[in-house]
Structure 1
């Protein structure tokens, strides 16, 4: 076992950002018009997935691509498609390319990328997604449309209404195929594939490649070229990953998140929750504490979702609390941080979440808040990414690898609110005071009452003996605690006038000179009934 990495071995991706052998887009064989548009967008060299995919697409080969999010998959299929399609002409209502995306946000983002890369050509596109007005989308389809970017549900609706024909498709792209499977779209995808011509070029991309996805690819692809620039489900090397252990539940997590955000230099951040209800609660909490936050989740209609996303992209809001609807494909320029408020149920989703930062070679940070209940999900993530995520304290500072130091710093990782709740548990219990100490701290009036219950001689002896005979002092201290203010030594007075008859230790034998000596029956005290004082009479025979 490698001591530096624990029980997980590190896998090095085949291609990384910043490699010295990176090629320009002109080196890949793209036209001048496409290269100019890419350069104007600010990109100079191709990423590994683009470098490996574009030449095969230009040669007309099917592609089976695997790469982590944020590596430029969108440009890897759009750029060569634009280059090839610019040489032909589409027919009315017969697009030549179809791109299927699992979510509306990702489809809208691909449409924006197409507008940017195809601005030097006369090609047109149609965005066909649910949640938006159908009339505008029908208008885009009515006429010449070169490429359709769609989600499966709305595309089938348009086809069933006779608004679109798919027999002219030359390029078919399935993006984020593993996400399609997670969302239950595979039957829809299979139906759409049955409507396409058999002679087509299919580009199949997925961030992970489990066996069901590979089996699906075998059905759709013909002699594909496999492109893998990183092992499946491996996070980008440009993302710095950290985890924070939190004691407590949601309230403690919210306090820990605020503390961590304040300690970090956050330019903008996505905050992921597992449930839509948690998104709403966290948003309300952050806004009440003065953070400019917005929310994005599946219960919002498409107009509100796009407006929220635009607000966040234009820096009108600094934090966006979201569910996994935003975990795939969203490209937020310069996103500095990703916070996982919850450990994702599915380990693969962790890779997609943190893939929103550290994109296109930039650096990013990803923090995950973990409670004891989420340890099993955390272990699944460690197994998937083949390494342990380093732990930090509440201020984001790395904890020492030594176990004792790490244990000492656990308190620092706990949020302030949580420390208040657990202070009583962590505080050491006070030591029991000795009887002698209790006797010394007894109020003065109790001492006076205790002294009045004894003779003057005993009081003097007790005072002298307390210094010379510790055992005797302990007995006297006990007697002084148990003696009531009235001076009676046998019982304690209760509110109803009765004596306290609870069983205790046997009473100490009475000393000579004390009140009650003589023929007083043992245990009766000073309150002997009158009938017991009468002399006994012998019964006459």
Structure 2
């Protein structure tokens, strides 16, 4: 579907043309007509599918066609991370560049007083992270009485990060007569279902590719590693020998990211670091360096897995395997965007094999196993445990021994027959005449006493 086929305002259409957007992506094609008709939506689509424009275009079109210059904020977009908030804000400014519509940005790491001034100006569109917005709400710096649109972007991630209660607090303070759009990597899960019941009104579900669908244009490989030192050698080899414009390296902890950034830089590679402990000024600086090409390698924690739209990322390396399948998908989704080819390589240590296998099962695929001949280690994967043949054989032979089976049946019959009968001395068990001698006694030369006649 072409954007020109939609009844978009000419100023919105002009911005699309200037940005080179002429054909809608699948998620935009399915979402835009329903959103423009005022429907509440629950949308599931893969990362990098064009979700941002799918919810921005309908509201920009409506606001420009129906101006309300004296109203309070008309649209609220909630996102889980600062990086995603900044990305949505920038896209909103580009699409609204020929309109009077203004957007405001509320997120952690920025000056609180400056944000108060932003809220007082009543921007038509407000993009916010839940934690910082709650702080402003506690100080009564907001006004959602005129709200027409509520967007929950990456709702599953907000729940994963513990923002569920904050999101419901915010939505309960919003105007009830509004249109709500919820975007998520998946539409399953009890928490998400409960949130949808409270926030949405008779929503239409749209499901395209989900986190479990294959990324056809991303080549996914694993490299087995003995330990951290071996991983370091594999990582440096890949960064020095693979072909890429930009590379992203993911770790599970800030400590690992801080450790490996020095190991990468000492090899003369142009690398930066991004994690949740950095303030917003530092984050912006690193992203600017990567965008401008001053660095071409970024080592990051999962704070960068969602919301970053970096052009030219052709290589993703998981220095540590992601904690779950959804996080893995969002990591590798930084490459192979816009129909381009990408390569994702995971370095798997002995303690990560089970995690890797569970992700394979979740995604219903097999990662390609790769080796680097100069750096082959001793770890080859888990050893297969052999079953105990003795125990199995014994049970098997018992089943196949009819004589033994018959004997046991006769014994049970005899016991049953004699139930209630008085035992005679002949029937009583006789004392054993066998003398039991331990191995230790024999070894020491001990002789058992002779029985008296």
- Give TM-score, length-normalised by structure 1: 0.68
Deviation of 1:211 after TM superposition, in Å, equals 1.7
Partners of 1:86 and 1:360 lie apart in 2 by: 29
- Contact 1:244–1:413, Cα closer than 8 Å, also in 2: no
Which aligned pairs between 1:384-399 and structure 2 lie closer than 5 A? 384-394=362-372
Structure 2 portions without partners, runs of 5+: 381-453
- Contact 1:68–1:236, Cα closer than 8 Å, also in 2: no
Partners of 2:358 and 2:68 lie apart in 1 by: 48
Partners of 1:198 and 1:381 lie apart in 2 by: 40
Q: CA deviation digits over 1:511-539, x for unaligned, max 9?
A: xxxxxxxxxxxxxxxxxxxxxxxxxxxxx
The aligned residue for residue 175 of structure 1 is: 153
Secondary structure of 2:310 counterpart: coil
Which aligned pairs between 1:366-515 and structure 2 lie closer than 5 A? 366-394=344-372, 412=373, 414=375
Q: CA deviation digits over 1:365-392, x for unaligned, max 9?
A: 2111112211111111111111101122
Which aligned pairs between 1:2-401 and structure 2 lie closer than 5 A? 23-90=1-68, 94-212=72-190, 213-246=192-225, 248-394=226-372
- Contact 1:294–1:317, Cα closer than 8 Å, also in 2: yes
- Contact 1:235–1:351, Cα closer than 8 Å, also in 2: no
Deviation of 1:180 after TM superposition, in Å, equals 0.4
Deviation of 1:121 after TM superposition, in Å, equals 0.6
Partners of 1:363 and 1:35 lie apart in 2 by: 30
Partners of 2:60 and 2:5 lie apart in 1 by: 17
- Contact 2:9–2:65, Cα closer than 8 Å, also in 1: no
Deviation of 1:209 after TM superposition, in Å, equals 2.5
The aligned residue for residue 5 of structure 1 is: none
Partners of 2:374 and 2:180 lie apart in 1 by: 49
Partners of 1:279 and 1:307 lie apart in 2 by: 17
Change (3 A) 1:335 1:42: farther
Deviation of 1:92 after TM superposition, in Å, equals 5.6
- Contact 2:79–2:152, Cα closer than 8 Å, also in 1: yes
Secondary structure of 1:336 counterpart: strand
- Contact 1:273–1:340, Cα closer than 8 Å, also in 2: yes
Q: CA deviation digits over 1:155-179, x for unaligned, max 9?
A: 1222222221111110000001111
- Contact 1:234–1:351, Cα closer than 8 Å, also in 2: no
- Contact 2:40–2:200, Cα closer than 8 Å, also in 1: yes
Q: CA deviation digits over 1:116-156, x for unaligned, max 9?
A: 11111110011001111122222222224100000011112
Q: CA deviation digits over 1:303-351, x for unaligned, max 9?
A: 1111111211221111000000001121001221111111011221000
Deviation of 1:413 after TM superposition, in Å, equals 7.1
The aligned residue for residue 505 of structure 1 is: none
- Flag the structure with larger Rg: 1
Secondary structure of 2:264 counterpart: helix
Deviation of 1:85 after TM superposition, in Å, equals 1.2
- Contact 1:68–1:233, Cα closer than 8 Å, also in 2: no
- Give TM-score, length-normalised by structure 2: 0.80
Partners of 2:6 and 2:366 lie apart in 1 by: 38
Change (3 A) 1:61 1:129: same
Partners of 1:253 and 1:121 lie apart in 2 by: 51
Partners of 1:31 and 1:149 lie apart in 2 by: 22
Secondary structure of 1:184 counterpart: coil
The aligned residue for residue 479 of structure 1 is: none
Q: CA deviation digits over 1:420-446, x for unaligned, max 9?
A: x99xxxxxxxxxxxxxxxxxxxxxxxx
The aligned residue for residue 9 of structure 1 is: none
* RMSD, matched Cα: 1.8
Paired residue total: 379
Partners of 2:229 and 2:71 lie apart in 1 by: 54
Partners of 2:73 and 2:129 lie apart in 1 by: 16
Deviation of 1:302 after TM superposition, in Å, equals 1.3
Partners of 1:251 and 1:315 lie apart in 2 by: 29
The aligned residue for residue 498 of structure 1 is: none
